[in-house]
């Protein structure tokens, strides 16, 4: 039975980012500087000039071409130590899943010895991290509510987060104004992460009434957003930001299913980003999630979004073997979806055939 | 814009109360005793013998004939001080709204000087309270998730809680097994508290997308429960416990409407308990909430529950004046429901007529 931890506080509403300064002023601290991680997309943007940065603060722009790697996190930690800036009042992350996860990982690493890779796993973080504020600028991953921060260790290819109660944000600012400038494709792919992890949860064997309730409401909101005429209207961007938060809460009480393991395979072997990887995978999931497969395609069609096809249809045998290994390793979600005998269903040939179908 | 605080942790599931000992063991503390507030209904019950009480602990049975009064809270505090038991590892409240609210209020008063009545209002509590665990045994009030603990001051009749972030529980144990023995009427009246505060929120003027999402899911669950054949089936008791928690989260992001002020009037003047008072009021709300009035009656009928009638139909003028005063004082919810001119709609004659209709 899980003892689920919530984000401590959240502020929701258009323009809520303007309250960041007040929230920081209300926070007691012995320190007089802040650390910002900001998605590089916002360098010199209108948003950037709204952030109350002072000369003492350290600002890092996070590149999102690659998803977080353990050595990135170690490097950020080393820079802060070399500048004697390793005990800030707060770490503030402003961006999408990669940026939010970077903020979480650095906050943990500043108060725990060793390197990021030492904490990939479950409940390995020993000390509470630095107080941290998450400000999402795109909706869907649920990173703002979850107890993990996904990182890849380039040395051994392990893609796994610091799953810990200490990884959860202390404060969220959920400002739907910040998602206005998201490119349409990206908005769809990322939003679909919520839809997909919630339909996986609801179709799984390990469920409870509270996880179900979060998933159902998140899906209801995704339907309102993606089956409407304009998924990016003011009202729909608000709804998707709420859906993302609730989807993160749902995951805290349940498990994902078949989609996420295949998407993880794409990510580890072909460097496909998580959210588009989910959508590419979803397109090959008709046999596992027939109704949702249909609804997913209806949503994509309604919003005029094309899901890339054929990215894994003509690979060599060695690559298929790697994809198979990186997929089948995810025992918890696969047994949640298919039962303890999932390896009988997902033979090498079957997995290869599914990748070819994508 | 509200900065909403969440309950820190929650554990959900049948039998989750058996994890209380482990949760307490995991908690660091300089103290070696606990304070329990337990609904008197459970004295010598099966549940009582499941609680890991030790000889050092202090156990109080909370009477629920009267809802909490400020002097009850002050008395509890005085007893603990006289026994030198005012710095426990945790306060644990096991019961319905009154018991949960008692635990919250005592936890605040042990770390803040003065009396309970000094903290009736908004954000008056200065110091964090004692670490506290809430274990609801009936579903509906949302007290497990809310930032208030309602108390009446017998000296001036003021019914108002300690509205504070410090009032929120640190840990919840949501164990649907504990609601098995609730009397059917009580189960209905209390469950309806969730339905009613959520329909009030959704019909109000001050709303946001996150409050709406919590309200809608809570209402969806109430519908599943109360429009089913057996509202107290295992599955439905789980759902109602989730609905109650989500309803509490909804209230943190919105306001109630016309029902709660009238119900508060009944409570202050006629000592009607909160949840049955809501149901009695709901029966006179057709003009304000026509669809919900109809659905409410359908639910009552489906479950074979009779709502008391006529409790305010033949009172003297002085009592109607008191009822009017105790209703109209609730400006925030009434302007949320009816606009800033609510006093034009709710004249003395109109309010009296509504009470007569109940």
Question: What is the tens place of the pLDDT at every residue in B209-262?
Answer: 999 999 999 999 999 999 999 999 999 999 999 999 999 999 989 999 999 999
Give the list of residues 6+ apart from residue A270 with CB closer than 8 angstroms, or none: A311, A312, A323
Among the partner residues B5, B19, B208, nearest to A13 by beta-carbon distance: B208
Is residue A235 one of the residues assigned to a domain? yes
CA dihedral (A11, A13, A14, A19) in degrees, to 10, reads -30
The verdict on A274 and A128 lying in the same domain is no
- SS3 label, residue A59: strand
Same domain for A196 and A175: no
| CATH code, domain carrying B224 | 1.20.1090.10
Asked whether residue A4 is domain-assigned, the answer is no
CA distance A142 to A18: 22
Tally helices (H) and strands (E) across chain B.
13, 9
> What's the first-to-final CA gap in chain B, in angstroms?
36
Nearest neighbour of B213 by CB, restricted to A10, A15, A217: A217
Confidence class for position B34, pLDDT limits 50, 70, 90: very high
Where among A156, A179, A202 does a domain terminate?
A179
pLDDT score recorded for residue B40: 96
**Neighboring chain A residues of B179 at a CB cutoff of 8 Å:** none
Q: Record the tokens describing residue B284, joined without a space.
A: 């006179």
**Interatomic CA distance for residues B288 and B296, integer angstroms:** 13
A233 domain residue, yes or no: yes
Cβ-in-10-Å burial (0-12, 13-18, 19+) of B128 comes to middle
**Residue A239, min C-alpha distance to chain B (Å):** 6
Question: How high is the pLDDT of residue B328?
Answer: 96
Claim to verify: residue B232 and residue B251 sit in the same structural domain: yes
Residues B26 and B77 in one domain: yes
* A53/A62 Cα distance (integer angstroms): 16
B35: enclosing H helix or E strand: strand B34-39
Q: What is the tens place of the pLDDT at every residue in B102-136?
A: 999 999 999 999 999 999 999 999 999 999 999 99
Which of B123, B152, B179 is the endpoint of a domain? B179
Answer yes or no: is B107 within a domain. yes
Tell me which chain A residue has its CA closest to the CA of residue B9.
A5
Closest CA to A1 of A183, A187, A206, A166: A206
Say yes or no: B173 and B208 in one domain: no
Question: Of the candidates B195, B90, B92, B199, which has an alpha carbon nearest to the alpha carbon of residue B139?
Answer: B195
Give the SS3 label for residue B311: coil
Same domain, A169 and A205: no
* pLDDT category of residue B157 using cuts at 50, 70 and 90: confident
Give tens-digit pLDDT for A320-354. Answer: 999 999 999 999 999 999 999 999 999 999 999 99
Nearest to A102 by CA among A131, A65, A74: A74
Task: State how far Cα A88 lies from the chain centre.
Answer: 25
Residue A67, pLDDT > 90, answer: no
Residue A159 pLDDT > 90, yes or no? no
pLDDT exceeds cutoff 90 at A66: no
In the DSSP assignment, the letter for residue A106 is H
Nearest to A231 by CA among A303, A141, A290: A303
Residues of B in contact with A171 (CB under 8 A): 3
Partner residue facing B3 (CB), from A9, A217, A246 = A9
Indicate the Cα dihedral angle A274, A252, B192, B222, nearest 10°.
50
- Kindly report, residue by residue over A224-278, the tens digit of the pLDDT: 999 999 999 999 999 999 999 999 999 999 999 999 999 999 999 999 999 999 9
Q: Looking at the structure, do residues B197 and B122 belong to the same domain, yes or no? A: no
pLDDT of residue A216: 98
Greater model confidence, B300 or A44: B300
Q: Is the pLDDT of residue A158 over 90?
A: no
Structure-token match 């018991």, residue found: B99
Segment A71-79 shows an average pLDDT of 98
Q: Residue B221 is encoded by which pair of tokens?
A: 């669950």
Question: In 3D, which of A297, A203, A186, A309 has the Cα closest to residue A250?
Answer: A203
Q: What is the per-residue pLDDT across B47-99, written as a single tens digit (0 to 9) for each?
A: 999 899 999 999 999 999 888 999 999 999 999 999 999 999 999 999 999 99
Number of A/B CB contacts below 8 angstroms equals 103
User: Does ipTM surpass 0.90 in this model?
Assistant: yes
d(CA B170, CA B8) in angstroms, rounded, equals 5
Out of B143, B163, B179, a domain closes at: B179
Same domain for A242 and A335, yes or no, is yes
- In the predicted model, is pLDDT for residue A157 greater than 90? no
Helices (H), chain A: 20-25, 70-82, 97-109, 184-202, 209-226, 234-251, 259-270, 274-282, 290-302, 317-328, 331-338, 342-345, 348-357
The Cα of A220 is separated from the nearest Cα of chain B by a number of Å equal to 9
Q: Three-state DSSP class for B126?
A: coil
CA–CA distance, B255 with B253 (Å, rounded to integer): 7
d(CA A282, CA A296): 8
Half-sphere exposure of A173 (CA within 13 A, CB side): 25
Chain B positions touching A216 (Cβ under 8 A) are 217, 220
Residues B167 and B209 in one domain: no
Residue A345 burial by Cβ neighbours in a 10 Å radius (0-12, 13-18, 19+): middle
State the pLDDT at residue B345: 97
**Is residue A1, in this structure, part of any structural domain at all?**
no
- Same domain? For A208 and A288 the reply is yes
What total number of domains does chain B contain?
Answer: 2
**B276–chain A nearest CA distance, Å:** 26
Establish if A124 belongs to a structural domain: yes
User: What is the distance between the alpha carbons of residues A92 and A95, in angstroms, rounded to a whole number?
Assistant: 10
**List of chain B residues whose C-beta atoms are within 8 Å of the C-beta of residue A10:** 3-4, 6, 210
Q: Same domain, yes or no, for A304 and A317?
A: yes
Q: Which domain holds residue A78?
A: 9-179
Q: Tell me: the pLDDT tens digits for B161-200?
A: 999 999 999 999 999 999 999 999 999 999 999 999 999 9
Q: Helices B97-109 & B70-82, crossing angle to 10 degrees?
A: 50
Residue B156, C-beta contacts closer than 8 angstroms, at least 6 positions apart: none
Q: Which residues contact B213 (CB under 8 A, 6 or more apart)?
A: A217, A221, A239, A242, A243, A246
Query: With contacts defined as CB-CB under 8 Å, which chain B residues touch A210?
Result: 10, 12, 174, 242, 245
State how far the Cα of B337 lies from the Cα of B205, in Å rounded to an integer: 6
Q: Residue A3: inside a domain, yes or no?
A: no
- Using left for φ > 0, alpha for ψ between -120 and 50, and beta otherwise, residue B148 falls in beta
Angle at B253 between CA B251 and CA B257, to 5 degrees: 50
Residues B142 and B174 in one domain: yes
Report the pLDDT value the prediction gives residue A126, as an integer from 0 to 100: 98
Cα B224 to chain center, whole Å? 22
Residue A292 pLDDT exceeds 90: yes
CA–CA separation, A161 vs A164, rounded Å? 9
User: In chain A, which residues touch B (CB < 8 A)?
Assistant: 1-13, 15-16, 19, 23, 165, 171, 174, 176, 208-210, 213-214, 216-217, 220-221, 235, 238-239, 241-243, 245-246, 253
And the tokens for A112? 């725990």
Residue B149 sits in a domain of what CATH number?
Answer: 3.40.50.1970
Of A1, A15, A174, nearest to B13 by CB-CB distance is A1
The single-letter DSSP state of residue A5 is E
Closest CA to B89 of B68, B110, B72: B110
SS (H, E, C) A239-305: HHHHHHHHHHHHHCCCCCCCHHHHHHHHHHHHCCCHHHHHHHHHCCCCCCCHHHHHHHHHHHHHCCC
In the sheet where A34-39 sits, what is the strand order? A58-62, A34-39, A90-95, A132-136, A171-174, A9-12, B3-5
CA distance A95 to B351: 51
Instruction: With respect to residue B4, please indicate whether it lies within any of the assigned structural domains.
Output: no
């Amino acid at each position: 039975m899980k003892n689920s931890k919530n984000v401590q506080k959240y502020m929701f509403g258009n323009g809520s980012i303007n309250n960041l300064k007040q929230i920081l002023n209300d926070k007691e601290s012995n320190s007089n500087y802040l650390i910002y991680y900001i998605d590089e997309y916002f360098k010199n943007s209108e948003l950037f000039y709204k952030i109350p940065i002072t000369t003492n603060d350290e600002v890092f722009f996070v590149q999102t071409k690659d998803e977080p790697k353990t050595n990135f996190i170690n490097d950020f930690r080393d820079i802060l130590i070399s500048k004697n800036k390793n005990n800030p009042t707060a770490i503030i992350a402003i961006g999408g899943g990669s940026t939010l996860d970077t903020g979480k990982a650095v906050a943990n690493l500043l108060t725990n010895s060793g390197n990021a890779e030492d904490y990939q796993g479950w409940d390995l973080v020993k000390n509470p991290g630095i107080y941290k504020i998450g400000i999402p600028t795109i909706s869907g991953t649920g990173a703002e509510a979850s107890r993990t921060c996904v990182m890849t260790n380039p040395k051994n290819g392990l893609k796994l987060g610091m799953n810990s109660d200490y990884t959860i944000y202390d404060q969220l600012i959920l400002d739907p104004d910040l998602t206005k400038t998201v490119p349409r494709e990206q908005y769809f792919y990322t939003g679909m992460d919520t839809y997909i992890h919630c339909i996986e949860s609801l179709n799984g064997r390990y469920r409870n009434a509270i996880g179900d309730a979060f998933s159902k409401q998140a899906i209801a909101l995704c339907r309102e957003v993606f089956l409407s005429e304009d998924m990016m209207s003011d009202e729909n961007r608000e709804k998707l930001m709420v859906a993302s938060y609730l989807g993160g809460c749902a995951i805290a009480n349940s498990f994902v299913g078949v989609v996420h393991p295949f998407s993880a395979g794409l990510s580890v072997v072909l460097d496909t980003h998580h959210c588009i990887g989910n959508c590419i995978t979803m397109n090959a999931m008709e046999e596992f999630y027939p109704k949702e497969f249909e609804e997913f395609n209806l949503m994509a069609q309604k919003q005029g979004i094309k899901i890339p096809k054929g990215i894994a249809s003509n690979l060599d045998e060695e690559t298929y073997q790697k994809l198979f290994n990186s997929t089948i390793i995810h025992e918890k979600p696969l047994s949640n979806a298919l039962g303890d005998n999932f390896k009988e269903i997902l033979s090498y040939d079957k997995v290869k055939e599914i990748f070819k179908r994508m």
